[in-house]
Structure formats: structure tokens, C-alpha cells
Amino acid sequence: MDAVAARAGVNRATVYRRWGDVGGLLADVLDAAGEDDWQPPDTGSLVGDLAALNHEIQAALTAQPPVVTALIAASFRSERADRAQQRLWEDRYARCEIIVSRAVRRGELPSPTDARPLLIASTAPLYHQLLLLRTPPDPHLPEHAARTAALAASAGAFAEPPSVGDT
């Protein structure tokens, strides 16, 4: 909070009046991040789209200063920031569902394919390697994770099961 006050050229008390605590400040930062016009990549193929998305994620998680990783870590310490982060993730997953819809339309995936588990399977290796294991970035990981998830999806691993009346 002191750094925010100093950068804004205001007294620390002003920052605390506005946000109350670090959690309030982080919640506003996370909510503002969801008000952008970001759209997932469209490369013309499922593997290409997932790999491009993974490259964006890897770049964000390895950027200096580590803003994204700091926001993720800090959200675990504040209920308000945690709720804001959940809203941001929901927004990002909703925006990324178009990747799967396009792949279904192109015939790359069976219909219906459940977008959320496919997106998680493609992106999770990056978060696991970079945040949990803290391994150096692997330039091949974004494509490998994308290709692995796409192969599983094309084999029906993320196909939505038929409803009870459809069997």
C-alpha cells in the first residue's frame, strides 16, 4: 500500500480510505483486468489456438516484474481479491470457449465437446510447471501441452456425455 501511495503521490491514508486494505486494492485491479477487450487467438486450428493461448500465459507468468504471479498469490490472502480473481477466471474461460466452438465447426472435435475441461487440460501444465514447480520456462511446453490436449479432445476425451433421455 505504501508503494501505491508513493507512486500515486498521495498519503498512505488516502489509499487506505479508498480501498480499506490490500484485498480491496487487488480486487479493483483484478476487476479492471476483466474490463479489457482481450480475445483468444484465432490461428485457424485448435492446436494453433491452444498453443498461442499457452504462449500468452507463459509470457504473463514469466514477465518481470512478476505481476500476474503476485496477483494470484495475493488473492489467497484476501476474500475480496479471491472473489475478484474468480470473476476474472470465469470471464477468461467464457471468452476462450470460442476456441472449442471454432474447432467443432471445423470438424476437428466431436460435438458436443466440453470447453472448460479441454481448456484446463491445455493450460494446466504451464501453471503447474511455472507456479508450482517453479521450473524455468520451456519454449516447447506451450505447443506440447496444446497438442496433448487437442489429441485427447479429438479422441472424445472431453465430449459431453449424452443426457439420460438421449441414450
**For helices 67-75 and 46-62, what crossing angle results, to 10°?**
80
Residue 4, in any domain of the structure = no
Rounded Cα–Cα distance for residues 131 and 9 (Å) = 33
Q: What is the CATH number of the domain that holds 39?
A: 1.10.357.10
> For position 25, what pLDDT does the model report?
78
Residue 99, in any domain of the structure = yes
Residue 100, in any domain of the structure = yes
Residue 2, in any domain of the structure = no
C-alpha cell at 98: 470460442
Q: Can you give the pTM of this predicted structure?
A: 0.84
Residue 144, in any domain of the structure = yes
Q: Domain containing 62: what range?
A: 22-161
Over its length of 167 residues, how does the chain's per-residue pLDDT go in tens digits?
A: 777 778 788 888 887 777 777 778 787 877 787 789 999 999 999 999 999 999 999 999 999 988 888 888 888 888 888 998 999 999 999 999 999 999 999 999 999 999 999 999 999 999 999 999 999 999 999 999 999 999 999 999 999 776 666 55
> For position 162, what pLDDT does the model report?
67
Number of domains in the chain: 1
Q: Which of 59, 35, 74, 53 is nearest to 120 (CA)?
A: 53
Residue 167, in any domain of the structure = no
> For position 18, what pLDDT does the model report?
76
Count of other CB atoms within 10 angstroms of residue 25: 20
